[in-house]
């Protein structure tokens, strides 16, 4: 891992530390106890919660802040159209826990372990398309069978719901990308985004992930950090983000233009079967003239 | 160095373990305090001048006065930038 990435992850880990954020929230709540909370203060509370990775509490906080959007789309954790204190857009986010029956997730996990020899080091999609352990250390395979069609159908069947919840125009899908990934000891993915173009250009539009692992999990770390971003100007925040823990049986989706990173994964013993697995997908859209926000 | 500062009204603090973190409710940025920063922060009580704080720290840490004053000024400047302290008359 490049030194700059290590420094960034250290900072994200400290800022996202659950204990620190819990202490700050407790102080904030104490300060607000005697006053009628205003929108700024509620937003601050939600920011602390999403930094700490408390998805349920984050959803509750945004239900108070933006009740309409959250009631209309129960799968939303963070509604669209919000900005953080430094003016970056907060990535709207869908998180669905316990997506599959336990037996289905177990079948997928066993399949992934059975096809361990198909996994290769992921290459970077930008630049020279090379394996670069300074920027990414991920094992990946495009070839898997169990639940592959299920996930493709699930995302296709829920496309309109996801688009509406995330306030994305109803783009058409040109191609649906799907792969299995595994992060072992030291695995990570540097800050990047999956689409560098404007909304109207052809490219990836929706990024989704489904996490699975041994039960109980035998890894730590590997959090997904979705940084508040300025998609139109290729910028992102260094201190405002949403942390998503890679909890088994959790589905996550967000617009592909937002910067994100996978924090370092720790797998004691480094056995393939003990890694942080995910089904990872992207919906590709053609060029269009829809009303994109970036 | 004769200025006096106090914590801003809307500053939040976390003292989890060795790490002390300050955050302004206005800006939302975190500022981490190292040992020196912590010592300075604890002396920003709305009564002591920066000169008095520097002199106190100089005695405690046995560092040259110029270095101590420079560190206090730099640290308090950083806190002001993040709206974590306010000047007092």
Please tell me the predicted confidence (pLDDT) of residue A129: 67
Please tell me the predicted confidence (pLDDT) of residue A238: 83
Q: Which of A19, A27, A40 sits opposite B12 (nearest CB)?
A: A27
Query: pLDDT per residue over A194-233, tens digit each?
Result: 999 999 999 999 999 999 999 999 999 999 999 999 999 9
Beta-carbon separation of B14 and A27 below 8 A: yes
Domain-located, residue A80 = no
Residue B30 touches partner A, C-beta closer than 8 Å: yes
Beta-carbon separation of B25 and A15 below 8 A: no
- Residue A47 shares a structural domain with residue A165: no
pLDDT at A48 over 80: yes
- Residue A143 shares a structural domain with residue A268: yes
**Which residues does chain A have within 8 Å of residue B25's beta carbon, measured at their own beta carbons?**
28, 31, 40-41, 44
- Residue A17 shares a structural domain with residue A53: yes
- Residue A111 shares a structural domain with residue A203: yes
**Which residues does chain B have within 8 Å of residue A28's beta carbon, measured at their own beta carbons?**
12, 25
- Residue A207 shares a structural domain with residue A65: no
Domain-located, residue A292 = no
> Chain centroid to CA A130: how far?
23
Question: What global pTM score does this model have?
Answer: 0.91
pLDDT bracket for residue A125 (50, 70, 90): low
Domain-located, residue A88 = no
- Residue A150 shares a structural domain with residue A206: yes
Range of the structural domain that residue A55 is part of: 3-75
**Which residues does chain A have within 8 Å of residue B26's beta carbon, measured at their own beta carbons?**
85
Domain-located, residue A25 = yes
User: Quick one: closest CA in A to B13, which residue?
Assistant: A24
Chain B contact probe: residue of A13, A15, A20 with most B CBs at under 10 A: A20
Please tell me the predicted confidence (pLDDT) of residue B34: 86
Beta-carbon separation of A27 and B13 below 8 A: yes
- Residue A185 shares a structural domain with residue A261: yes
Beta-carbon separation of A31 and B10 below 8 A: yes
Q: How many domains does chain A have?
A: 2
Domain-located, residue A70 = yes
Q: What is the CATH number of the domain that holds A257?
A: 2.60.120.620
Which of A262, A277, A223, A282 minimizes the C-alpha distance to A108? A277
pLDDT bracket for residue A117 (50, 70, 90): very high
Delineate the domains of chain B, giving CATH numbers in brackets.
4-83 (1.10.10.1150)
User: Quick one: closest CA in B to A23, which residue?
Assistant: B14
Query: pLDDT per residue over B16-72, tens digit each?
Result: 766 788 988 877 788 888 888 889 999 999 999 999 999 999 888 888 888 899 999
Query: What distances in angstroms separate CA A188 from CA A17, A205, A234, A265, one per listed residue?
Result: 18, 22, 21, 6
- Residue A160 shares a structural domain with residue A46: no
- Residue A130 shares a structural domain with residue A270: yes
**Three-state SS annotation for A130-174:** CCCCCCEECEEECCCCCCHHHHHHHHHHCHHHHHHHHCCCCCCCC
Domain-located, residue A105 = yes
Q: Among A75, A104, A136, give the residue marking a domain's end.
A: A75
Residue B18 touches partner A, C-beta closer than 8 Å: no
Residue B64 touches partner A, C-beta closer than 8 Å: no
Neighbouring CB atoms inside 10 A of B17's CB total 9
Closest approach of chain A CAs to the CA of B2, in angstroms?
Answer: 31
Please tell me the predicted confidence (pLDDT) of residue A126: 57
- Residue A67 shares a structural domain with residue A98: no
Neighbouring CB atoms inside 10 A of A95's CB total 22
Query: pLDDT per residue over A247-280, tens digit each?
Result: 999 999 999 999 999 999 999 999 999 999 999 9
Q: Among A44, A75, A106, give the residue marking a domain's end.
A: A75
Answer whether A278's CB lies under 8 Å from A181's CB. yes
- Residue A27 shares a structural domain with residue A162: no
Containing H/E element for A280?
strand A276-285
The stretch A80-86 carries a mean pLDDT of 88
Closest approach of chain B CAs to the CA of A31, in angstroms?
Answer: 8
Q: Which of A20, A24, A41 sits opposite B19 (nearest CB)?
A: A20
Residue B59 touches partner A, C-beta closer than 8 Å: no
The ipTM (two decimal places) reads 0.80
At A175, list the tokens: 């191609």
Domain-located, residue A86 = no
């Amino acid at each position: 891992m490049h030194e700059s990435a290590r420094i960034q992850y250290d900072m994200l880990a400290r800022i996202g530390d659950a204990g620190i954020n819990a202490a700050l929230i407790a102080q904030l709540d104490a300060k607000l106890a005697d006053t009628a909370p205003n929108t700024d203060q509620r937003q601050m509370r939600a920011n602390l919660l999403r930094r700490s990775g408390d998805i349920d509490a984050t959803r509750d906080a945004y239900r108070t802040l933006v009740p309409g959007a959250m009631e209309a789309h129960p799968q939303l954790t963070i509604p669209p159209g919000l900005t953080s204190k430094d003016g970056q857009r907060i990535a709207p986010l869908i998180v669905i826990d316990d997506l599959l029956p336990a037996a289905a997730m177990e079948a997928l996990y066993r399949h992934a372990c059975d096809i361990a020899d198909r996994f290769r080091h992921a290459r970077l999609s930008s630049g020279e398309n090379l394996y670069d352990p300074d920027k990414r250390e991920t094992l990946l395979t495009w070839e898997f069978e169990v639940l592959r069609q299920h996930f493709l159908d699930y995302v296709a069947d829920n496309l309109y719901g996801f688009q509406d919840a995330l306030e994305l125009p109803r783009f058409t899908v040109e191609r649906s990308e799907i792969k299995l990934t595994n992060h072992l000891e030291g695995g990570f993915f540097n800050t990047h985004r999956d689409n560098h173009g404007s909304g109207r250009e052809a490219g990836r539009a929706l990024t989704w992930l489904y996490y699975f692992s041994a039960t109980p999990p035998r890894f730590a770390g590997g959090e997904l950090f979705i940084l508040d971003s300025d998609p139109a100007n290729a910028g992102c925040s260094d201190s405002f983000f949403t942390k998503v823990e890679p909890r088994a049986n959790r589905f996550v989706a967000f617009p592909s233009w937002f910067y994100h990173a996978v924090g370092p994964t720790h797998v004691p013993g480094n056995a393939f079967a003990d890694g942080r697995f995910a089904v990872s997908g992207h919906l590709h859209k053609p060029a269009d003239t829809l009303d994109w926000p970036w | 160095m004769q200025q006096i500062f106090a914590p801003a009204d809307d500053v939040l603090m976390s003292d989890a373990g060795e790490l002390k973190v300050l955050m302004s409710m206005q800006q939302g940025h975190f500022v981490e305090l190292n040992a020196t920063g912590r010592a300075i922060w604890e002396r920003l009580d709305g009564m002591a001048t920066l000169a008095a704080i520097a002199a106190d720290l100089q005695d405690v840490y046995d560092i040259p006065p110029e270095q101590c004053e420079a560190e206090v000024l730099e640290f308090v400047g950083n806190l002001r930038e993040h709206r974590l302290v306010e000047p007092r008359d």
